[in-house]
Structure 1
Amino acid sequence: MSAQLALGALTLFVLVRLVSCYRAGVVSNALVSSLAAVMYLFCLWVPAVLQSQGKIDSKILTAGVTSLPSAAEVDSLAWLWFIELIVVLAMEILAVYVFSRRHAKESKHSIGDWKSISIFLVCVGAIATVVFPAELENRAAEGQGLLVLLRTCLVCGLAIIAFYGGFNSRKMWILLGLGTAFLVVENVRSPLFVILIALASGLVVRNRIYSRKVLASVLIVGVLAIGSAAFMSQMRANVVRGHGLTASEIFADMADDPVRAVYAAGVDTLDGYRFVDKIAHREPARPFDLLSPVTTFIPRAIWEDKPASISVEVSSKYLGYRSSGQFLSMMGYLRLATGGYVSALLLFAVFFFVTSALVQTFRRQLWLAIVMVVVFRMLLGGSAFDIYYGLVLTVIIGGAAILLDVFRSLTRREPNRLGPVAATNNKSISRL
């Protein structure tokens, strides 16, 4: 129990620091550690306690890998989480000390430019999603590189609109609402959190987050997004597994036990953490998988023997999954990749120093949203694919910005270099 008290005290300290930074107008100095504290609280400690009390299920229990955690195991895990959260906090404080004094860079593109980019990406993404739809059960399958990029243009465009607050345009807010509704109807969950994080990041960059009304609105939207994601997850499972339930029946089940519904919607961080803890001693290190954020861009048509990800491999081996992979948690993934807890903790520290440094570097730009998306996804799922996803967002948005620059350079009129000579000749002719 002492470990859980220590973890709770550390979490409280991190959140108090967040409030202090919020009041000082430098909330970006506490974004990474506060997000980590919240994720550790609700994705690791809370489900551990609930599982130990038999109130929610465990996927690895169903697969026969291990039993539900005991109170003693929860306390033992809490010490590890305490250490990891201290590392996150220390890395953020170090990055803030090194980088916060430097002048934050502003975007070289105007708000009007970003508005044009967002509209272009929404159009491309919407057309690609309609013309090249992904089957519900194959959305995560590999080998769809170009089509994935084209479909992801939609969420990138919507995220830009959210980041810039709809560009103070009612039409853009309507476009954002319609696009988000389209994603909900399509049962695409993860883009909702990309849009939400972009919205919150934009409020931080534009200093709008310091309004209590705005902050309350963001929290309400966040709760609605979690509920929507849970509902969409249940709908997706209903379709894929052929349960034949209606939307009203699913909603009624969720209303009966909302906590179980939320944690059944894919919050498998704890299962992944414990899963790796049980199998790590049997598995060899796979350091090459750390390069997969880059190698994932290489299609299997070119690299036929490209190895499967760690998650897919061990999930097939121990859990009987066919093509999908179990969330491993960030530390779980790093343990399997490096072969040990200490080496994983070192890479864990490097990751959070780099991301905290990037937050300081881009605290006045759109790229802040992508950094926070990667941090969120890594804390939730913990896979090299989450870094790859951030690179995909960067490539799409950065590529669209470069296309805009190229288009302008091609359409810009060449200056009339003969202007002065022509003027002189005209004067001579007039004198004649």
Structure 2
Amino acid sequence: MINLFQPQVGAEELDAVAGVFHDRRLGSGRRTRAFEAAFAEHLGIPAEHVVFTSSGTSALHLAVETLDLQDGDEVVLPSIGLPATAEAIAGRAGRPIFCDVDRRTLNPALEDIEAVLTDRTRAVLLLHYGGRTGDVVRIAARCRERGIVLIEDGACSVASRVDGLPAGTFGDLAVWSFDPGRVIVTGDGGMVYAKDPERAARTRLLAHRGLVRASSFGHGALPPGQGEPDLPEYGRGIVGNDLTAAIGHVQLRRLPEMVERRTLIAERYDRELAGTEGLLTPPPLPEGQESTHCLYWVQLDPAIKDKVVGDLLAEEIYTTSHYAPLHRVRAQDAAEEPPAARLPACDWAVDRTVRLPLHPGLSDEDVAAVIGSLRRAVRSRLAEASTEEGLTVKDTQ
């Protein structure tokens, strides 16, 4: 099977885990702090402004929690994304407001976001789909003008940049995921960054169960006068641990080589799939933008998309129609969100987009197999559909 994603872990990560076992300190400790510091250095931000969390979802919930949303407060986000984004908002009394996206890049433009802004908008939660930063510069500027908090979801963009500036540093808050489908993998884990020092301090406080001193509760003998926990507000225990941090630290060192391989594969897909009848590849990156290439996708006519996916699976090539549109999921039925007709580009993209395998573990032969099988499947299904239903290439474009 040629997998859609495949974590790149090996001897270095195993040695790092062995070191944690040797020290018998599996909780949040010096390796967690070292990973946070290294990640902050990678982004060029202060180490005390980032917190390693137990998952990307917990990082997202933590970022939204710092907004102190009141009932009815709105947070704008693209409908293309994982359910966790909407869940984090709704779970903190907020109202998710979905915006449209560019149908080819699946990222929203400033105009898509402005179309749904109201006087109740407290924040914008911006996903960098596939590793592309999209319109983040203009969106960040407009959020600053209007006093709206910008949260960057960097799950796919851990190495993405715009004019040399790292994704995740344009807004007020940012989150990353290190689950098995991402570029840096720790088994599970996430990172949250807060630009404002006070918000950063509160983020760390909330992640550490609300305790001012991480050692003030449940960690053995304490000096006189420190026997009671210092708990200014309730938090949650969602910090990462030294075991996953040790893996993450190694993965971060290996990030340049992993992104380089991802880039080469994406460029080969671009080059060898370009001009294929009935198939669209992603548009070129704008000048000044660098992508992590976390995901690669093509777009096919809806009449053949699922059949092509089935053809590839029969040849042991795994693909998926990633992601589901959030404005069409059942959980949003009672939220009185904008009807699907108001998000035409999103619906167009979701009905046509297929994600291809992309990870450093793909050999050149694997990539050639994906390209060859995809082209054959599209050609065969187009011919079949043209005969049966009068399908034309225009329907795809």
Which has the larger strand fraction? 2
- Whichever of the two has the greater Rg, that structure is 1
Using structure 1 for the length normalisation, give the TM-score. 0.26
Using structure 2 for the length normalisation, give the TM-score. 0.28
